[in-house]
């Protein structure tokens, strides 16, 4: 794979570098290594890096790009939901930082054969790991209309989930071409025209997002990562998570607040009460960090990115 064939710009790179606050010699895990944009910055700041990715193309490219730092880099094949197991296999029980840039990459979106994009002609696949699991088309064929509508509503927050699910089932059984563009057309046609013309995004955006999340079990995977972070971070260690849609961000926000003792619950008269749980983390971002207008113009993928960061409390050795 040639480096010149990939145009990858990491989102919120300056904010990540600032919040990571790497001390040379610290061990960091990049849970979503991708094409090594963030990893390159962490290494430049002096970190020793463990990079994880389930995409073989990403691992190959990252290996080439990070070759000058090979003495401080170890790249693992896997899903970050298994972070604790992956680290145990290389005899690592604690790290100083964990970074996860969650979501599909621009490179993956641009690959027709991956089937992530409704703007490109390709198979209805959407798997992050092409070596395992069912495709989005497999999922559609397996689910009933009711189950499919539930996924569209839950993971895509799609208000027209039921008519879209009906239309997708007709598309599936209609004998026509089953590809990303025909699927996008079917979804578009299921949304009332008066609604479509007012949308600021493509009519298939929410549905493709929902299918991708379901295929890759992305929310369950995120929960698995969040379960592992408190066990793996050394005292003083930091966790940074970049999410790209509200479902992910709400999960991260809730868990970070719980760790920081800010799991507030309604009290008498609507007042909020602090959590009785003793804080184990410090919130370093009370609100998510978002990209500037300049960054969004230069890198449109950054428009929906939200970065949150916590620091584990305790004495630093």
Is 70's pLDDT higher than 50?
yes
pLDDT value of residue 270: 58
Tell me what the mean pLDDT of segment 213-218 comes to.
Answer: 94
Query: Which residue carries 């009460």 as its tokens?
Result: 273
Burial class (CB in 10 A: 0-12, 13-18, 19+), 130: middle
**Residue positions counted in the chain:** 317
Which three-class secondary structure state does DSSP give residue 277?
A: coil
pLDDT digits 0-9 by tens, 167-207 = 999 999 998 999 999 999 999 999 999 999 898 889 999 99
> Phi, psi at residue 100, to the nearest 5°?
-140, 120
Return d(Cα 225, Cα 295) in angstroms, integer: 28
Tell me what the mean pLDDT of segment 5-16 comes to.
Answer: 80
Burial class (CB in 10 A: 0-12, 13-18, 19+), 100: buried
Tell me what the mean pLDDT of segment 145-153 comes to.
Answer: 97
pLDDT value of residue 56: 87
Residue 54: name the closest of 104, 125, 91, 111 by CA.
104
pLDDT value of residue 316: 53
The domains found in the chain, sorted by start residue, are 3-107+218-312 (3.40.50.150), 115-216 (1.10.150.170)
Tokens encoding 174: 């209609």
Residue 247: name the closest of 156, 174, 168 by CA.
156
- Residue 180: its H or E element: helix 180-190
> Phi, psi at residue 188, to the nearest 5°?
-60, -45
Q: By the 8 A CB rule, do 291 and 1 touch?
A: no
pLDDT digits 0-9 by tens, 260-316 = 998 656 556 656 556 666 889 999 999 999 999 999 999 888 899 999 999 999 865
Q: By the 8 A CB rule, do 53 and 59 touch?
A: yes
Return d(Cα 41, Cα 38) in angstroms, integer: 5
Return d(Cα 110, Cα 68) in angstroms, integer: 28
User: How confident is the prediction for the chain on average, in pLDDT?
Assistant: 90
- pTM (predicted TM-score): 0.88
Tokens encoding 313: 């409390």
């Amino acid at each position: 794979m040639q480096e010149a064939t990939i145009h990858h710009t990491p989102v919120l790179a300056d904010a990540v570098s600032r919040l990571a606050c790497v001390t040379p010699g610290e061990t960091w895990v990049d849970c979503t290594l991708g094409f090594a944009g963030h990893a390159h910055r962490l290494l430049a700041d002096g970190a020793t890096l463990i990079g994880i990715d389930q995409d073989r193309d990403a691992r190959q490219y990252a290996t080439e790009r990070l070759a000058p730092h090979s003495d401080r880099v170890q790249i693992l094949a896997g899903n970050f939901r298994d972070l604790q197991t992956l680290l145990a296999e290389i005899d690592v029980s604690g790290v100083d930082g964990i970074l996860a840039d969650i979501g599909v990459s621009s490179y993956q979106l641009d690959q027709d054969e991956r089937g992530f994009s409704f703007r490109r002609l390709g198979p209805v696949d959407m798997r992050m790991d092409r070596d395992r699991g069912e495709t989005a088309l497999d999922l559609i064929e397996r689910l009933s209309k009711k189950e499919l509508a539930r996924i569209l509503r839950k993971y895509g927050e799609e208000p027209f989930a039921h008519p879209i699910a009906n239309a997708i089932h007709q598309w599936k059984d209609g004998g026509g071409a089953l590809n990303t563009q025909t699927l996008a057309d079917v979804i578009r046609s299921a949304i009332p025209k008066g609604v479509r013309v007012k949308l600021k995004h493509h009519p298939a955006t929410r549905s493709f997002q929902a299918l991708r999340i379901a295929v890759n079990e992305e929310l369950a995977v995120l929960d698995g990562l969040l379960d592992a972070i408190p066990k793996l971070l050394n005292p003083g260690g930091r966790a940074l998570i970049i999410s790209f849609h509200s479902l992910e961000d709400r999960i991260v926000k809730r868990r970070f607040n719980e760790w920081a003792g800010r799991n507030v619950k309604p009290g008498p008269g609507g007042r909020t009460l602090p959590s009785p749980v003793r804080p184990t983390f410090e919130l370093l971002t009370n609100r998510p960090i978002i990209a500037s207008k300049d960054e969004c113009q230069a890198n449109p993928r950054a428009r929906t990115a939200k970065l949150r960061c916590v620091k584990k409390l305790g004495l630093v050795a």
